[in-house]
Structure 1
Amino acid sequence: MDHESLLASRALRTEVAGRTEALDKVKALVLLPDGLHVTTKMVADYFGIGLKTLESLVLDHRDELESNGYQVLAGASLTSFKKVCAVSPRVNSIALFTRRTVLNVAMLLRDSVVARHVRTHLLDRAESTPGRPVDNFIHSLAEWIDTRIEDALTHTGRTDREREAAGTLAALDAMTPAEFEQHIARLCRRDGCEQITVTSGHGDRGADIIGYTPSGRRLVVRCEGRTAATTIGSGDVQKFIGTAGLDHRADAALYVATCPFTREALLLSARHEVTAVHRGLLEAWNNGTRLRALG
């Protein structure tokens, strides 16, 4: 597989359409407050191209882009979206791209330097990926064997959903609350955190995971597995701020959710130095991007 192959073949693009972490390897993609979408202008700015160039590409490849999340909102759906993302009331319609759609654009844009760098990361990963699927939580054969032995001894093997959580939001959405907490704990350990403990709701006072960052700061994590149609509001964040600060004396606090945060919730989180790991950021973290808060 090479650059020309990706540019020419929709089938090849489909094979790597879920590897959105390649975007973050090149340049930070700023999302709207819902944590899921970007506008046409935001995509054009990311790739350093003109709006007309992007609009022409969408016109030529709309069917493919729609299969990867591109949509145009109007009417009642736009009204609901405006409440979450503070869109101007004068806007009658808005085109939205997901991270997956933006990656799709990167595989179609021939003359963007940023797009070419994204494709390079995709190709590098494709060359280093083994020919058969590997457990998302296992990074070496030795670790795979050790884990299987441990599972056999304790009779607590991972569920199929956990084993198949290969960087997709769908897999995270399918997890039970307990599975989701365990998965987030694994991500923390993967990124070097220590003494990570899942409280399992027993006197946790609103903290689902506690531990220490690689630099030794006390870490407190709240996990919320909700549907993408719901939101984390400022009231939810306010409660966690009290929990993290007063009850647990946290130096680093993460509020991790499978749904978007409202604009007010994001602003409140920022003011109190709580990292709001919304749906879009969660996807990037799950796919290998390290959270700055865990540094």
Structure 2
Amino acid sequence: MKIIVAKSMGFCFGVEKAIKTVEELLNNGKKVITDGEIVHNKHVMNHLIEKGLRIVSKISKDADAVFAVRAHGIPKDKLEQLKRNYSKVVDLTCPIVHRLFKTAQEYSSKGKIIVFGKENHPEMIALKGYTPAIVTKKPFRTTEKKVVFLSQTTSSIEEYKKFVAEMIKMNDFEEVIYLNTICPVTIEREKEIEKLSKICDVCIVIGGKHSSNTGKLFQIASNNTKTLWIESQDELPNDVVKYGTVCVFSGTSTPISLIEDVIRKLKEMEGKDHGTNGIQ
């Protein structure tokens, strides 16, 4: 069995910064509170919760606590509410996500904002707190004449292009502005998995089962070869050794330690290393 590991692996810079910041606060004895998953990875979240991170469903005044805004961002009015209720608010919104919010605000005067994304995703909920927008992944008919197309930062670039093309075909727009707001790191991983999945007998994508960017990688690879979506090495099937070439990929919220564990187990299952790009 030949093992090929993608070059772009592990946390993206936004996720890494968010996790390190929360860990530092907890290590310094701070009481840290947030309102959901800092990142979509249960192993990472379990680690932070064990260190003392608290997750609350409602905002309540706590002058002794630090509130950590998740990497997906938060609606503007809720951010202001947090600042009134906690001793300190640490905004861990990914810079790429922040840029999306700012772009949506800037272009709202140029046409109706239509965002290609999952309506109930935290990032999209936060965006609508900055400017009115239609969020959907399905093309639709509209009477709007001037529109601005944006995308959730973790969407597939090809799916986004198809969505915009279909929207233009279905409607009679007078003016269309198309902006690529997808995270360049996810685009890079998308291109790599598209290429490598065509030479692999099986692809293994490591990441949280509710992670949008991991799901995107899984879908792309599935179009070309047999693909497994796992959260840890414990989910590796015993018959993986029957495949000649195995390619390993990860979502942007997957820690290197989990990737190392998967590679280590593959090697134990008679795998031979052929290019792990520094991950041993």
**TM-score (normalizing by structure 2):** 0.32
Higher strand share: 2
RCO comparison, higher one (Cα < 8 Å, 6+): 2
**TM-score (normalizing by structure 1):** 0.31
Higher helix share: 1
